[in-house]
Amino acid sequence: MKNTPFLKYHEALGARIIPFAGYNMPVEYAGITEEHLTVRSGVGVFDVSHMGEFWVNGPRALDFLQHITSNDVSALTDGKVQYTCFPNGRGGIVDDLLVYRFSAEKYLLVVNAANIEKDWEWCVKHAAAFGITAGPGGQLNNASDGTAQLAVQGPLALKAMQKLTGEPVTDMEYYTFKVLKFAGIDDVIFSTTGYTGSGGCEIYIRNADAPRLWEEVFRAGEEYGIKPIGLGARDTLRLEMGFCLYGNDINDTTTPIEAGLGWITKFVPGKDFIDRDLLLKQKEEGTDRRLKGFVMIDKGIPRQHYEVVDAQGNLIGEVTSGTMAPSLKQGIGLAYLNKGFWKNDTEIFIRVRGRDLKAKVTALPFYKQ
């Protein structure tokens, strides 16, 4: 197992550490519900240094990214971030990711921790056709092992973080970034992105600067009640927003159209991306299943792989993510449902330990701030 540069802080704070995506990671400190509500109302800090970072440079960088990702990278301007995915050539998804544009010839890809090796091999495989060399000294570089990242999330996050930089950050638009001096550290990537739906930022630094960043962030946030947050609350927060989790809601067998990610699948002229024709056909003709949100009416907590049935007990889908939502005090989940069961308020049943518990289809997000 690898360790992030922040492990000593997690251990000192009494975090419960678990193996996750090849790293020793904190799953909770004070408890998932308490940590979840801290982020919804104040400010919390996640160690997300396990995420992967790939740099793409050169005159063919845009052409390469337009081919390998589903979203329209040409729509980005300097300082903007885009959510997208890698189609896998069979209609499925290699991974979902963020693309940062630094210039017309410089981009940063941020990928999921569990998929770093798979994503890197996928990028290297397709880069060659664009004359892009991979590895040290090349135009495609895997910087994952040398990069640390904190996600500072919550409605008070930017106010607290403003104390650590002379650059204005509280008025930054969602999904934008700046390279600035932060907490006395040069060349910090400060991005108004996150996985919680409660605002905040994600901060990228070199591993060597990790101790200073942690200590300064917590010092700046002390007056706002800042707390460390584990992976458990990260999952409940993202699920309340209806955000997809790779490995649960999307994977190599799910298409972005089925997953409700048509908004990151752009069929613009000149964008000849992987699976374009297949996905365009799905968009025009529809799919047999679709990822939908649901809330429990009967008491019960839905979990991944639970069966979804209709009133007659016929199998109509499968739960991909589920939890008891701390903000809503209600069972919620995402499930792939067969056609005919997609309309809001449609009655469905979640099979929980042999009992069919009533639920209803609902619009996303579950939590509205």
pLDDT tens digits, one per residue of 191-216: 999 999 999 999 999 999 999 999 99
Round the average pLDDT of the chain to a whole number and report it: 97
Q: CA-CA distance, 83 to 26, in Å (whole number)?
A: 26
Question: What's residue 310's pLDDT?
Answer: 98
- Concatenate the DSSP letters of all residues of 320-351 into one string: EEEEEETTTTEEEEEEEEETT--STT-EEEEE
32-41 vs 231-240: helix crossing angle, rounded to 10: 60
Residue 369 pLDDT: 76
pLDDT tens-digit series, residues 318-355: 999 999 999 999 999 999 999 999 999 999 999 999 99
As a whole number, mean pLDDT of residues 280-303 equals: 97
Could you tell me which residues come within 8 angstroms of residue 197 by beta carbon, excluding any fewer than 6 positions away? Answer: 237, 238, 240, 241, 243, 365, 367, 369
Question: Under 8 Å CB-to-CB from 186, ≥6 apart: which residues?
Answer: none
Distance from C-alpha of 164 to C-alpha of 180, rounded to nearest angstrom: 10
Mean pLDDT within 173-179: 98
Q: First-to-last CA distance in the chain?
A: 37
Q: Is the peptide bond before 211 cis (omega within 30 degrees of 0)?
A: no
Contact 235, 332 (CB under 8 A): no
Residue ranges of domains in the chain, CATH in brackets: 2-51+146-240 (3.30.1360.120), 288-369 (2.40.30.110)
Q: How confident is the model at residue 286 (pLDDT cuts 50, 70, 90)?
A: very high
pTM of the model: 0.97
C-beta separation of 59 from 114 below 8 A? no
Q: What torsion do the CA atoms of 275, 280, 285, 287 make, to the nearest 10 degrees?
A: 50
Name the residue among 291, 312, 309 with its Cα closest to residue 350: 309
Position 260 scores a pLDDT of 97
